[in-house]
């Protein structure tokens, strides 16, 4: 996690240390000839270790009591958003809930959480009107900073203050605005969050109680049974001449091949290979809720209750590692071929 000890603390500590050492240096550097003549023994620098230890202790205390300020940054195109240490942009993950971060493992490598070490504090700068607090992480128990209940993250590809390279990533990562909140419901108010939800098919309920994200919502698999409803081709003397009913098994087989069962606290199969453009469906048959959360943060289901499903369409070739953020030992991989 990025750490920037405030310059004023270090400057004052360095100045105090320099004054003490300078004074000590003067005491140890000179001895009058008269004193030497009468056999006086110059004093030895026995106080130096004590001074060094005191300086080290003060430095340690300053580090452990560091205060980090959350400020309001302004992007010329996106507008006002929150920034943390060193002016780095702060993000939210829509799959999180109030005071419940879900980005762990490889996801937390790409999206480092804004954490506090013991003794450290966070304070609100001008324009930061929400409530700053902390919540324990689900993986290591460290304290992650929250804003109005929203767990806060940085983006590893933001190299300097003012960078907003993570904005809108995969439709689930957004800059935190001063008005963003998770109090009393789901996370709302991220910069561009509402527009992204409107431009992509928002999660819609399915008969199984799950939901479909993005392009998967347009597939309507249950709405296309008409070829099988026409019994006339089967009544004709040319049953093999009507390939339409037999052409659908390829899509059906594709759906079957792109299904993952969540059972006995495991993904089955744990590794799946599909073609680009295929939609993968996860069905939770366990007695508890699980999630399907990509390590790189590219997709996240949120909680999938028992008997519900989650669908994700993979348009780009690559390897996608994922896990259950509630039970991190549950891991899986989707390999997408062109």
Question: Half-sphere exposure (CA, 13 Å, Cβ side) for 62?
Answer: 17
Domains of the chain: 67-198 (no CATH), 200-224+244-337 (2.60.40.420)
Report yes or no: 277 and 236 within 8 Å, Cβ to Cβ: no
CA dist., res. 184 & res. 181, Å (int):
9
Please list, in sequence order, all residues whose beta carbon lies within 8 angstroms of the beta carbon of residue 98, skipping any fewer than 6 positions away: 149, 150, 182, 183, 185, 187
Q: Can you state the percent helix, strand and coil of the chain, rounding each to 5?
A: 30, 30, 45
CA dist., res. 325 & res. 151, Å (int):
14
> For the segment 67-76, what is each residue's pLDDT rounded down to a tens digit?
999 999 999 9
- Residue 16 — pLDDT band, cuts 50, 70, 90? very low
> For the segment 92-132, what is each residue's pLDDT rounded down to a tens digit?
999 999 999 999 988 999 999 999 999 999 999 999 999 99
Beta-strand relationship, 204-205 and 173-175: unpaired
CA dist., res. 43 & res. 29, Å (int):
10
> For the segment 155-184, what is each residue's pLDDT rounded down to a tens digit?
999 999 999 999 999 899 999 999 999 987
- At residue 70's C-alpha, the angle toward residues 147 and 124, to 5°, is 75
Report yes or no: 207 and 201 within 8 Å, Cβ to Cβ: no
- Residue 193 — pLDDT band, cuts 50, 70, 90? confident
- At residue 107's C-alpha, the angle toward residues 104 and 109, to 5°, is 95
């Amino acid at each position: 996690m990025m750490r920037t000890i405030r310059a004023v603390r270090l400057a004052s500590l360095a100045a105090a240390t320099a004054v003490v050492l300078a004074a000590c240096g003067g005491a140890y550097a000179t001895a009058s000839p008269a004193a030497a003549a009468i056999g006086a023994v110059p004093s030895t620098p026995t106080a130096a270790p004590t001074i060094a230890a005191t300086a080290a202790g003060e430095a340690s205390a300053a580090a452990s009591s560091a205060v980090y300020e959350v400020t309001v940054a302004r992007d010329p195109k996106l507008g006002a958003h929150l920034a943390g240490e060193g002016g780095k942009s702060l993000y939210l993950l829509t799959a999180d809930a109030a005071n419940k971060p879900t980005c762990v493992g490889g996801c937390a490598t790409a999206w480092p959480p804004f954490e506090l070490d013991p003794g450290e504090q966070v304070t609100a700068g001008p324009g930061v009107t929400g409530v700053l607090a902390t919540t324990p992480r689900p993986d290591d128990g460290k304290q992650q900073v929250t804003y109005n209940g929203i767990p806060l993250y940085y983006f590893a590809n933001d190299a300097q203050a003012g960078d907003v390279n993570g904005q809108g990533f995969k439709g689930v990562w957004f800059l935190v605005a001063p008005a963003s909140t998770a109090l009393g419901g789901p996370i709302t108010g991220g910069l561009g969050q509402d527009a992204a939800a409107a431009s992509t098919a928002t999660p819609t309920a399915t008969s199984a109680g799950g939901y479909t994200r993005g392009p998967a919502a347009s597939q309507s698999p249950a709405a296309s049974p008409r070829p099988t409803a026409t019994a006339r081709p089967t009544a004709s003397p040319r049953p093999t001449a009507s390939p339409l009913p037999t052409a659908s098994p390829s899509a059906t087989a594709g759906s079957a091949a792109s299904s993952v069962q969540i059972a006995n606290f495991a993904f089955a199969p744990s590794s799946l290979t599909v073609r680009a453009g295929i939609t993968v469906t996860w069905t939770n048959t366990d007695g508890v809720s699980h999630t399907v959360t990509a390590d790189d943060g590219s997709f996240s289901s949120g909680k999938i209750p028992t008997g519900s499903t989650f669908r994700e369409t993979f348009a780009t070739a690559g390897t996608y590692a994922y896990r259950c953020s509630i039970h991190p030992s549950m891991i899986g991989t989707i390999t997408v071929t062109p």
